[in-house]
Amino acid sequence: MTPIDENKHSENIFQKLNKRLPYLNWLIFSSALLVLPLIFSSRSAVSTLCYLGIMSIFVLSYNVLLGQTGLLSLGHGLYMGLGGFFTIYVFNMFLDRGIEFPLPFIPIFGGVGALIIGVFYSWISAARGGMTFAMITLGLAELTHALSYILPSFFGGEEGKSIDRMDMGSFLGYDFGSQTEIYYIIAIWLLISALILYFISKTPFGMLTNAVRENSERVEFIGFKPSRIRFSASIVAAFFAGIAGGLSAITFEIVSIVDLGATQSTLVLLMTYIGGIQQFFGPILGAVVIGIMKLWLSDVTSAWQLYFGLLFIFVIMYAPRGLIGIVTDFAKILHTGELSQLFKYWAFVGSSGMVFALAVGALVEMSYRVGLDKAQGSILSYMGLSIDVSSIWQWGLVFVLIILGFIITKKSLSILNNRRHEWQLVANGRLQENEGAEK
């Protein structure tokens, strides 16, 4: 078999795989939810999985706005926080009345509560799209956050509201004292939420949200009101954000006014966009990557928020389809045989890019050490190396590595793109010749 025949065979395999990809994705997704706590069985690891599952539902709800409808919301964290508060109030109401309501179903009340607030807030914000929508959602979120300080009896002040989930009693023999049991509640809710939202995206309503994203004037011209579509998308997003808030309430057993602030809204925006808004599972990938970075980097470095910003800038400039776009492109490169043909170029780009990234990290850590972390001394431990931030030549070395890494990476990327273009032209041309000869 010639290289061209191999390429043709790979393309056919990739096309067949692409048709079956939705089913394969759901199979992998469901299997991963089932086995992850068996692989990562420590208490801290299961708690991390719980957090990632909650944030996955949260980002899927947000992508209904950003990815499907093209609406940039700057206050979506509000609905997750309110969902948590509603869940706690309903939980305590059942306890006061002696009702043993099944704990796995409690988060639905968080979704309903967020939906009710979402109907009112969306009626205000959904009349217009674009920057108007973004500013109104920001204003409503800040208004609610301010009210939380004015109404401490409802929101609990800085201490927030708390529960003990084991007070609700057992259900099907489980008392839900174990984090693993809570994880499977979250996993089931995540799978159900993902299936529902995926189904919605394939319905005529989902197609209309995409149409509003692309051109709202044409949608209005064919007889649909874009404001109603934006309104409907907003309340769907609010409901599932409330579900995430309800799950957070029974997992961590506390909700505070911090959950209503801008931090959650910013975090969900970063997770969704970095993961990729053009594919359904993109936001989940973003939630996993950013969630792990948030939990791990915050223990390792004081500059963890800065790294989020740098990653966000990188995605915007060089990977507009997000991390999921990088994954799918790499999968296609593997199937077409391009990686084996151009491996030395890919390896060079990867090596120079790694040097540039590590040098930037060193500069960030050194800057924080001479600034905010000055009390920890002048010796910095970075990637197994000891760096003296008082040494001028070490600063110079870092700057040289950054400049060289950037120049070499940029140049090697340009060469790689040219080689990829040439290889694809040759392969496609010969492939067409073979197809013509077969006919």
How much is the average pLDDT of 322-333?
Answer: 82
Nearest to 140 by CA among 118, 157, 155: 118
| More confident of the two residues 293 and 247 | 247
Rounded CA separation 4/211 (Å)? 40
Q: Which of 305, 321, 354 is the last residue of a domain?
A: 305
Rounded CA separation 183/36 (Å)? 10
Contacts of 238 (CB under 8 A, 6+ apart): 61, 79, 114, 115, 117, 118, 121, 122
Tokens, residue 243: 């579900």
How much is the average pLDDT of 40-58?
Answer: 93
Q: Which of 281, 305, 329 is the last residue of a domain?
A: 305
How much is the average pLDDT of 330-354?
Answer: 76
Rounded CA separation 381/379 (Å)? 7
Both 106 and 17 in a single domain? yes
Both 152 and 53 in a single domain? yes
pTM as predicted:
0.86
Residue 353 lies in a domain: yes
| More confident of the two residues 311 and 9 | 311
Number of domains in the chain: 2
Nearest to 88 by CA among 231, 214, 256, 209: 256
Domain CATH number, residue 134: 1.10.3470
Rounded CA separation 271/437 (Å)? 49
289 pLDDT more than 70: yes
Per-residue exposure over 24-43, b if at least 16 CB sit within 10 Å of its own CB, e if not: eeeeebeeebeebbeeeeee
Both 291 and 146 in a single domain? yes
Strands 254-255 and 161-162: antiparallel
Band of residue 424 on the pLDDT scale cut at 50, 70, 90: low
Contacts of 138 (CB under 8 A, 6+ apart): 74, 75
| More confident of the two residues 244 and 339 | 244
153 pLDDT more than 80: yes
Residue 33 lies in a domain: yes
Rounded CA separation 297/312 (Å)? 16
Nearest to 226 by CA among 214, 235, 236: 214
- DSSP assignments along 398-428, one per residue: HHHHHHHHHHHHHHHHHHHHHHHHHHHHHHH
Tokens, residue 384: 């197994």
Both 301 and 348 in a single domain? no
Both 154 and 85 in a single domain? yes
Strands 254-255 and 379-382: unpaired
Rounded CA separation 342/339 (Å)? 5
Residue 125 lies in a domain: yes
User: Over the stretch 66-89, which tens digit does the pLDDT of each residue have?
Assistant: 999 999 999 999 999 999 999 999
Q: Sign of the C-alpha dihedral, residues 165, 167, 170, 174?
A: positive
Q: Which of 305, 329, 356 is the last residue of a domain?
A: 305
Angle between helices 77-96 and 226-252 (to 10 degrees): 50
User: Over the stretch 160-194, which tens digit does the pLDDT of each residue have?
Assistant: 898 888 888 878 877 888 889 999 999 999 999 99
Nearest to 269 by CA among 424, 63, 39: 63
Residue 261 lies in a domain: yes
Residue 337 lies in a domain: no
Both 375 and 235 in a single domain? no
Tokens, residue 291: 């969630």
Residue 320 lies in a domain: no
Both 259 and 376 in a single domain? no
Both 100 and 205 in a single domain? yes
Contacts of 243 (CB under 8 A, 6+ apart): 57, 61, 83, 107, 108, 110, 111, 114, 189, 193
Both 299 and 347 in a single domain? no
Containing structural domain, residue 263: 3-305
Band of residue 434 on the pLDDT scale cut at 50, 70, 90: low
pLDDT of residue 14: 43
pLDDT of residue 426: 65
Both 7 and 101 in a single domain? yes
Both 297 and 348 in a single domain? no
Q: Of 101-110, 325-334, 409-418, which gets the smallest average pLDDT?
A: 325-334
Residue 428 lies in a domain: yes
Both 362 and 244 in a single domain? no
Rounded CA separation 344/346 (Å)? 6
CB 311 within 8 A of CB 297: no
SS3 for 277-295 is CCCCCHHHHHHHHHHHHHH
Band of residue 21 on the pLDDT scale cut at 50, 70, 90: low
Residue 321 lies in a domain: no
